[in-house]
Amino acid sequence: MLDLLQSNHIVNYMFLQHPEEQNMTYFEHLKHACSYAVKAVGCSIVFIVHGFIPCLFEKTGSAMIKDLNDRLNGNKSTKEKIN
């Protein structure tokens, strides 16, 4: 019985504690984390293209990073401020 309680504690710690601290379910947190990952990959692609062809995306990458940072910190994105 003690092993079961300890394993439930580990599962709670590994999968549920942080999402609950963020007022999200596990799947809501997963969705948000994946959306940030996709945006980060997009930023990476922009930076790689800019590295090869410097005249492209001169300000796009930094704007994308600022927007992602604002979203992660709970601020409104640059696009939302304009609208």
Supply the Cα-derived Rg of the chain in whole angstroms. Answer: 19
On whether the CB atoms of residues 75 and 46 are closer than 8 A, the answer is no
Distance in angstroms (rounded) separating the CA atoms of residues 54 and 40 = 20
- State in Å, rounded, how far the first CA of the chain is from the last one: 57
pLDDT digits (tens, 9 = 90+) for 21-69: 999 999 999 999 999 999 999 999 999 999 999 999 999 999 999 999 9
What is the count of structural domains for the chain? Answer: 1
Prediction pTM value:
0.70
Q: Within 1-83, where are the H helices?
A: 2-11, 17-21, 26-52, 60-72, 78-82
What is the span of the domain harbouring residue 11? 2-82
